[in-house]
Amino acid sequence: MKVRIDVTQASPIITPELVREHGLSEAEYGRIKQLLNREPSLVELGIFSVMWSEHCSYKSTRIHLKKLPTKATHVLQGPGENAGVIDIGDGDAAIFKMESHNHPSFIEPYQGAATGVGGIMRDVFTMGARPIAMMNALRFGEPTHPKTRHLVKGVVAGIGGYGNCMGVPTVGGEVNFHRSYNGNILVNAMCVGLARADNIFLSAAKGAGNPVVYIGSKTGRDGIHGATMASAEFDDASDEKRPTVQVGDPFTEKLLLEACLELMATDAIIAIQDMGAAGLTSSSAEMGDKGGSGIELDLDKVPQREENMTAYEMMLSESQERMLAVLKPGREAEAQAIFRKWELDFAVIGITTDTKRLVVKHKGQVVADMPITALSDEAPVYDRPYAERPPASGNPAFDAGKPLLESLVTIIASPDMCSRRWVWEQYDHSVMADTVQGPGGDAAVVRVHGSNKGLAITTDVSPRYCFADPYEGAKQAVAEAWRNISAVGAKPLAVTDNLNFGNPEKPDTMYQIVAGVNGIGEACRALDFPVISGNCSLYNETNGEGILPTPAIGAVGLMADVHRMAAIGFRREGDTLILIGRNHGHLGQSIYLREIEGREDGAAPPVHLTEEKRHGDFVRNLIEQGTADTVHDLSDGGLLVAVAEMAMAGGIGAELVAAPDATASIPFFFGEDQGRYLIAAAADTARRIADAAEKAGIPHALIGRTINRKLLSVAGAGEVTLERLSTAHENWFPDYMGGLEPPPVN
Amino acid sequence: MKSAVIVFPASNCDRDAATALKQLTGQTPHMVWHRDSELPQVDLVVLPGGFSYGDYLRCGAMASQSAIMRAIKAHADRGGAVLGICNGFQVLTEAHLLPGALMRNANLQFVCRPVALEVNETQSAFTRKYEHGQRVVFPVAHGDGNYFADDETLNRLEGEGRVALRYAPGQNPNGSARDIAGILNQKRNVLGLMPHPERVVDPLLGGTDGIKLFQGLLETLS
Amino acid sequence: MKARVFVTLKNGVLDPQGKAIANALHGLGFAGVGDVRQGKVIDIELAERDEARARATLKEMCEKLLANTVIEKYEIELQA
Amino acid sequence: MKARVFVTLKNGVLDPQGKAIANALHGLGFAGVGDVRQGKVIDIELAERDEARARATLKEMCEKLLANTVIEKYEIELQA
Ligand SMILES: Nc1ncnc2c1ncn2[C@@H]1O[C@H](COP(=O)(O)OP(=O)(O)O)[C@@H](O)[C@H]1O
Ligand SMILES: [Mg+2]
C-alpha cells in the first residue's frame, strides 16, 4: 500500500484510486460520505476500509450466519464476543474459538502461523480464561508443488514456536494436502481456555468518563492493512504489495497473559478486548459499539516503537501482543502496577464518552470523528447472488480385483492418511500436565486441572466432500466432530467454525458458502450442538483459482471422569471387534478412489443425522458405564483403515472376517459411510454390547477379533505385518520433509 | 521437605513442578519470583521448564542473571538441593552451577515425545530410589537439549560418576554428547536434566517413572 | 574465498530478541544502552576465486535461502 | 556510538545450523560451498563516546551475557 508514504495530517484529496486501494467500492464510498455528511479524512477512510472489510464486517456472510443455532442452556456466551463460552459444571466455563491466519502464513509461514496462534490465544484470555489447549487445522498444496515443503516446515515450526513458549499444550489438529491449496494454504488455529463462569470478561465499554487503557507491546508499522489483505484475492503481484509482516513475540504474550489474569482477579475492569486485525481501530470501535458509548483516543499517548508514526499508521497497525481495556475510574494505578511488574507497556490513551462517536486526536488535532454505528450497524451487508449447483452424484465403478491389503498399505502411507507424528512432535502436547489424550486419537482430552473432568477437543472437515456437495459436506464436518468427541466418551457441547472459502463475489463460491452454512446449521440443530464462535476467511483464491470449500469445525465436549476415557489403541488380545452403524459400501469421494483409482468423483456420503445421534449416544453410554474402553470412529478410509490404526496404536494384531458379499469386498472395507464406530471388547462384554445394540435397534456386526500375532489378516485376502504397516504409515512425513528442499534458516 | 519453585518471566512448567511436589511431598512449595534476592528456608530449589525470556539470545542466558540466582548459588554451596528441569537445566549451565552447555537440537527441531532413559548413577538424593541401569521413560519437550562439553569435561563427568541419566541406546532425541540427559555437580546436590520427571507422576498422564525422583528427595531431605 | 553474510531484520520489523537483550543489559546495570537489534552472521567458504562471480552467487544464496526477504535484509562481505 | 558484536561458535564446537545451511545450499545446486558456520550479530547503540571505554563495556557485556564462553567466542566492532 503506497498510501503510507504520502500521509499528511492535512486532508488529502481522496481520489477514486485511493478509495480502490482501500478495498472500498464506489458505492461504499458514497455511503461513507452520506453517513459522515462530508468527505472523510484519510484516517477516517482507513478506519472505514478496515471496519467495512470482509474480515471485520462479515458483509457477505452475515445474513447467512444468522441462521446458525447458537443457543442452549449450557451456552453462556454465543457469537458476538471475542470467543464463545459454555458452562461445564461446578462453576467452571470453557471458552473457545477458532481463527484463520491463511494469507499471512502463505507470505511468511513461520511468523504468519505464529501470530495466528498468538491472536487466537488473546481472543480467549481477553475473556478471562487461561488457555489450556490448542488445536490447528492445516491445508497445504500438493506435496509436489515447489512451495509446499517450505510452507509445511515454516507453519509447523511457527505454531510450535509460539504455542510451546506460551506453555499451552497443542493437542491436535488436521493436515491435508490438495492442489487447490497450492496458492492459498489454510492455517486455522483453535484455542480452548478455562475460566470461572462468574468471572467472564466482555468487550462492552459501558458508561462515560472511564479511562481507556492500552496494554502490552508498543505499536509499530506492522501489517498495516492486514484486514483488507485478508479480504482480497492474491495475484502474482501480491509479492510486491506485501504489507509488513508481523513478527510474533510469544515471550511478551506470555507476560501479557499472566498480567491480564492478574488484573482480572481484581474488579478494576469494565471491558477488555484484544487488538487483533485492524488493531486499535476495531478494538475501540467494537468496544464502543457494544457498550453503546463513545470513545475518544489521544494517539500521542500510544506507546510507539517507531518515530514519526502518523495517526493513520497507528490506527491501522496490527502490531501483536496488545490489548485495550476500559477500567473503572481511579483504578489506573493499581492496574499499572501489575503491568509494570510484568514489564509491559501501560498507558491511559483515552476516555469513554456518551457521544457514541469515535474521536481520534493526534498532535492536538482531531484526525477522525465519526459515529460508531457508521462502522458497525451501518456497515454494508450483502445478499450476494449465488448459483445453485446440483451435487456430484453416483457411486463410481472400481476395479474389484485390486488386492485389499496392498491397497491398505498404499492408503495409510499416503500424504493425507499417514501419521502426523512429524508435525505433532514439534508441539509440546504434555505441558500443563493435564493432557490425558494427546494427538493421534479421535479427540484430544485435557483434564480440567484439579478435577476428574475432561474436555474433549477436535477439529474436522473433509473438503473433498464439501466440494462434491457443499451441504452434505458441511453436515458431515459437524457430524464427524460430534462423532470424534463421542468416540472418546465425552458429551459434545458446542462448536466453533472457521469458514474458509474462495471469492464470495462469484456465484458458484457464494453457493458453497450458503449451502455450507445451511449444512452446518442443520447438523448442529439435529445434534444439539450450538455454534458459539467462529471466523470466516473468504477470498482464498489465486489467479481465479479457488480452494476446496473448507468449513472447518472445532468442537468441545465434556466427560465426567477422565478415567473412563476410551482410546483407539487395541488393549487386549482376544477382544471381539464390533462394528456399530450401517455399512452401505459408499465409495463416492472416498480416499480409496482417490489414492488407488486416482479419481475424485461420485456423491459425497450422505449423513443421516438421526442415526448419527443414536449411534453416538449408544457408544458414549457404553464408555460412560465403563463397558467400552477401546473405540474408534470410522471416517477417511473406512473400516479397514480404522482397524489398522487401532492395531498400530496398540501394537496388537487382528483378524477380520471376509466381507459378507465377496464381490463387494472393497466397498465393505473402504467405504466411507457415516455414523459408524468400531469397538474392541472382551468376548463376554462384546456379547453384552451386541445384545444391547440389538435391543436398541442399532445396526451392528461382529467383524473380527484381536490376536496374539502382530499382523492384520482378512479372511480370504491374506495378511500384512504391523511392522510393515507402521513403517509405511510413519515414514511418509519424515521422508518427505527430509527431502532436499532447503529448510528456512530461522 | 520444604521446597521452592523459581518463577522466571515465561517459565511455564512452574505450576507442573509445584503440582508434582505437592502431590509427592505433601507440602505446597513456595513460588519464588526471579527478582527476589532471597530464598525462603527450603531444602530443595526447583528451576522449572519453560521459555524464560522467550529463550531469546540463548536459552537460560537472561534468567541466569536474575537476582535470585545469587541466593540459589549460596544455597547450593551450603549443600542444599537444586533441581533444574529442561529450561532449568539450561539456566544452571548458563549460571555455571553445572558444566557444559545446551545447544540447538541436532535436527534443529523442537521435540516432544516420551524417551527411554537409563539411570546411570544412583548415588544422589535425586536418583537413589532407582536401580543402577534401570530404564525409565520421561517425556522430553525442548528445542535446545543438545548437551555439549569438551572431551576433558565429559571424561571428568563420567569418571566422577556425574552422568546421572543417559538416553537409552538409539533414543537420543537431540544429539547430546555421549547420550547425556542429566548431570550432577561435583557435590551431587545439583541435578540438571532435559527430560521432565514432573510430567510422569500420574498413571493417567503417561506413566509414573518420575515419582521415585521426588521420593528420593523426600527421604533424603526430610 | 571466504564470505561473511549478515542477515538482519528490516527497519521497522519488530525484533523481540533485540528488545529482550536491551532490557537484560539495562537490568545488569549497563547504562546508556539504546536500541539493540539481533541478526545472523553466516560464514561461508567458497571455492570460487573471482570476486564478482562470488558476489553474484552469494546474492542468489541470500535471496533463495539465507535471508527471508519478507522481513530481513542482507549484506555481503568478502574476505579474500 | 554504534557497536556491532559478533558471537560465533568456537572452533571445534559442532554447528548444526551451519551444517544444515551447507546441505541446503548443496541441495539448491550451489557447487563449491565448503564449511558454513552460523553466528549472531548484535547491533547496539551506546551513549558512550569514548572508544576505549565503550570497548571495555562491550567486553563486559559479552562476558556476562551476550556470549556463552563455554561454546562461543566474540568480536567487537565499533562504528563511530
Ligand atoms: N462463521 C461463524 N460462525 C459463528 N460465529 C462467527 C463466525 N464468524 C465469526 N463469528 C463470530 O463473530 C464475531 C467476530 O468475529 P471476529 O471478527 O473473527 O472476532 P475477533 O476480531 O475477536 O477475532 C466473533 O464473536 C465470532 O465468534
Ligand atoms: Mg478478538
* pLDDT for res B22: 97
Query: Which strands form A294-298's sheet, in the order they lie side by side?
Result: A269-274, A322-327, A211-216, A345-353, A294-298, A357-362, A365-371
Could you tell me if A638 and A592 are in contact, meaning their C-beta atoms sit under 8 angstroms apart? Answer: yes
The protein residue whose alpha carbon is closest to atom 20 in ligand 1 is A82
pLDDT at res. A739: 60
Residues in chain C: 80
Domain-by-domain residue ranges, chain C?
Answer: 2-79
| Residue A65 near ligand 1, beta carbon < 6 Å | yes
C-alpha cell at A648: 498400530
- Indicate whether A10 pLDDT > 60: no
Per the structure, how many domains does chain B have?
1
Please give the pLDDT value at position A746: 34
**In whole angstroms, how far apart are CA A693 and each of A482, A702, B112?**
20, 12, 41
Q: How far is the CA of A51 from the centre of ligand 1 (A)?
A: 14
The pLDDT tens digits of the residues spanning A651-695 come to 999 999 999 987 899 999 999 999 999 999 999 999 999 999 999
Residues of A belonging to the active site: 55, 101
pLDDT in tens, C19-54: 999 999 999 999 999 999 999 999 999 999 999 999
Amino acid at C6: F
Over 60: is that where the pLDDT of B151 sits? yes
What is the spatial distance between Cα A105 and Cα A116, in angstroms, rounded to a whole number? 8
Report the DSSP pairing between strands B30-33 and B3-7: parallel
Which residues in B lie closer than 8 A to residue C38 (C-beta atoms)?
A: 57
DSSP line for A415-459: TTTS--HHHHTTS--STTS-EEE-TTSSSEEEEPTTSS-EEEEEE
Task: Determine the distance separating the centroid of ligand 1 and the alpha carbon of A211, expressed in angstroms.
Answer: 26
A13, exposed or middle or buried, with CB in 10 Å at 0-12, 13-18, 19+? exposed
**Ligand 1: distance of its center to the CA of A464 in Å?**
25
Locate the ligand 1 atom nearest the alpha carbon of residue A123 and give its number.
22
Model pTM above 0.90: yes
C71 closest CB neighbour out of A108, A306, A742: A108
What pLDDT does A13 receive? 79
Closest chain B CA to residue A745? B108
Pairing of strands B111-119, B101-103: unpaired
Distinct helix (H) and strand (E) counts, chain B? 5, 11
The number of angstroms, rounded, from the C-alpha of B161 to the middle of its chain's C-alpha atoms is 17
Q: Which residues surround ligand 2, an ion (CB under 5 A)?
A: A 82, 123, 274, 276
User: What's the pLDDT tens digit per position in A73-116?
Assistant: 999 999 999 999 999 999 999 999 999 999 999 999 999 999 99
pLDDT > 90? residue A245: no
What digits encode the pLDDT tens for the residues A406-434? 999 999 999 999 999 999 999 999 999 99
Among residues C79, C78, C2, C75, the alpha carbon closest in space to that of C41 is found at: C75
Better pLDDT: A638 or A15: A638
Q: Which three cell numbers stand for residue A387?
A: 448459483
Q: Do C68 and A319 touch (CB under 8 A)?
A: no
Among B101, B105, B175, select the one facing D71 at the smallest CB separation: B101
- pLDDT above 90 for B184: yes
What distance in Å separates residue B62's CA from the closest CA in chain C? Answer: 6
The pLDDT mean for chain A works out to 94
**Among A303-317, A484-498, A600-614, B122-136, which is the least confidently predicted range?**
A303-317
Residue A662's pLDDT is 78
A343/B contact by beta carbon, under 8 A: yes
CB-count burial class (<10 Å; 0-12, 13-18, 19+) for A593: buried
Residue A51 has pLDDT above 70, yes or no: yes
Cβ contacts of C58 on chain D, cutoff 8 Å: none
Determine how many CB atoms are found less than 10 A away from the CB of residue A371: 16
Residue A6 confidence (pLDDT):
34
For a mutational test of ligand 1's pocket, the pick from A50, A203, A535, i.e. the residue with the most ligand atoms closer than 8 A to its C-beta, is A535
Close Cβ partners of D3 (under 8 Å, ≥ 6 residues apart): D43, D44, D45, D46, D54, D58, D76, D77, D78, D79
CB contact under 8 A, A249 and C71: no
B15 shares contact with chain A (CB less than 8 Å): yes
Centroid of chain to Cα A682: 38
pLDDT digits (tens, 9 = 90+) for A478-525: 999 999 999 999 999 999 999 999 999 999 999 999 999 999 999 999
A234, A541 contact by CB (below 8 A): yes
pLDDT at residue A277, as a whole number:
81
The residue of chain B nearest to residue D10, with distances taken between CA atoms, is: B150
Tens-place pLDDT, residues A180-203: 999 999 999 999 999 999 999 999
Question: How far is ligand 1, taken at its centre, from the CA of residue A80, in Å?
Answer: 6
- The whole domain housing B47 covers 3-221
**pLDDT for the residue numbered A3:** 32
Nearest by CB to residue A250, choosing from B54, B143, B206, is B54
CATH classification at residue B63: 3.40.50.880
Using an 8 Å Cβ cutoff, are A657 and A715 in contact?
yes
What is the C-alpha to C-alpha distance for residues B186 and B124, in angstroms, rounded to an integer? 11
Q: What is the pLDDT of residue A663?
A: 80
Structure confidence at residue A241 (pLDDT):
37
Mean pLDDT confidence for B134-139: 98
Rounded to a whole number of angstroms, the distance from the CA of B196 to the nearest CA of chain A is 10
Centroid of ligand 1 to alpha carbon of A465 (angstroms): 24
Nearest ligand to the CA of A56 is: 1
d(C-alpha A707, C-alpha B62), whole Å:
55
Distance of residue A164 Cα from the nearest chain B Cα, in angstroms: 8
Residue appearing with cell numbers 477514486: A16
Q: Is A447 in CB contact (< 8 Å) with chain B?
A: yes
Residue nearest to atom 22 of ligand 1 (CA): A82
CB B166 within 8 A of CB B183: no
> Smallest Cβ distance to C68: which of A251, A320, A746?
A746
State which residue of chain C sits closest to B55, comparing Cα positions: C17
What number of other Cβ atoms are within 10 A of residue A35's Cβ? 16
**How many residues are there in chain B?**
222
Q: A519: Cβ below 6 Å to ligand 1?
A: no
Amino acid at residue number A275: M
**Choice among A242-251, A598-607, B83-92 with the minimum mean pLDDT:** A242-251
pLDDT at A2: 30
Question: What is the ipTM, given to two decimal places?
Answer: 0.93
Residues 8-67 of D with CB under 8 A from B: 12-14, 16-17, 20, 40, 64-66
Does A249 contact chain B (CB < 8 Å)? yes
| Distance of residue D69 Cα from the nearest chain B Cα, in angstroms | 10
Distance from CA of D74 to the nearest CA of C (A): 12
Residue D51 is placed in which grid cell?
A: 572508544
Asked if residue A97 lies in contact with residue A123, where contact means CB atoms within 8 angstroms, the answer is yes
* CB of A533 sitting under 6 A from ligand 1: yes
d(CA A483, CA A488): 9
The bridge status of strand A170-177 relative to strand A130-140 is: parallel
| Nearest atom (ligand 1) to Cα of A97 | 27
Q: With a 6 A CB cut-off, is A81 part of the ligand 1 pocket?
A: yes
- Distance of alpha carbon A332 from alpha carbon A346, whole angstroms: 9
Chain A interface includes C31 (CB < 8 A): no
Q: Is the CB of A97 under 6 A from ligand 1?
A: yes
Nearest CA to ligand 1 atom 4: A534
C70 CB neighbour count, 10 Å cutoff: 17
Q: Is the CB of A276 inside a 6 Å radius of any atom of ligand 1?
A: yes
**Which of B109, B112, B138, B211 would best serve as a mutation to test chain A binding (most A beta carbons within 10 A)?**
B112
Mean pLDDT of A258-269: 97
**How would residue A244 be classed by pLDDT, with cut points 50, 70 and 90?**
low
Closest CA to B196 of B47, B61, B58: B47
Cα separation, A380 vs A282, whole angstroms: 16
Residue D6 C-alpha, separation from nearest chain A C-alpha, in angstroms: 18
Q: What pLDDT shows up at residue B100?
A: 97
Q: CB distance B103–D71 less than 8 Å?
A: yes
CATH 3.40.50.261 applies to domain C2-79: no
In angstroms, what CA-CA distances link A162 with A135, A324, B16? Answer: 13, 22, 19
* pLDDT greater than 90 at residue B149: yes
Closest of A227, A310, A288 to residue A48, by C-alpha: A227
Is B65 in contact with C24 (Cβ distance < 8 A)? yes
pLDDT at B222: 87
CA-nearest residue for atom 21, ligand 1, is A276
Instruction: Say what the pLDDT of residue B50 is.
Output: 98
pLDDT (mean) for A29-54: 94
pLDDT for the residue A228: 55
pLDDT in tens, A144-171: 999 999 999 999 999 999 999 999 999 9
Nearest-atom index, ligand 1, CA of A56 = 17
Q: State how far the alpha carbon of A15 is from the alpha carbons of A8, A46, A243, in Å.
A: 15, 13, 21
Q: What is the pLDDT of residues B190-210, one digit of tens each?
A: 999 999 999 999 999 989 999
**CB nearest to D65's CB, from B65, B99, B106:** B65
Q: Please tell me the residue having the least CA distance from ligand 1 atom 15.
A: A535
Distance from the first to the final alpha carbon of chain B: 5
Instruction: Provide the pLDDT confidence category of residue A744 given band limits of 50, 70 and 90.
Output: very low
Residue of chain D with shortest Cα separation from B94: D68
CA atoms of A475 and A606, how far apart (whole Å): 9
Average pLDDT in chain C: 94
pLDDT band at A234 (very low <50, low <70, confident <90, very high): low
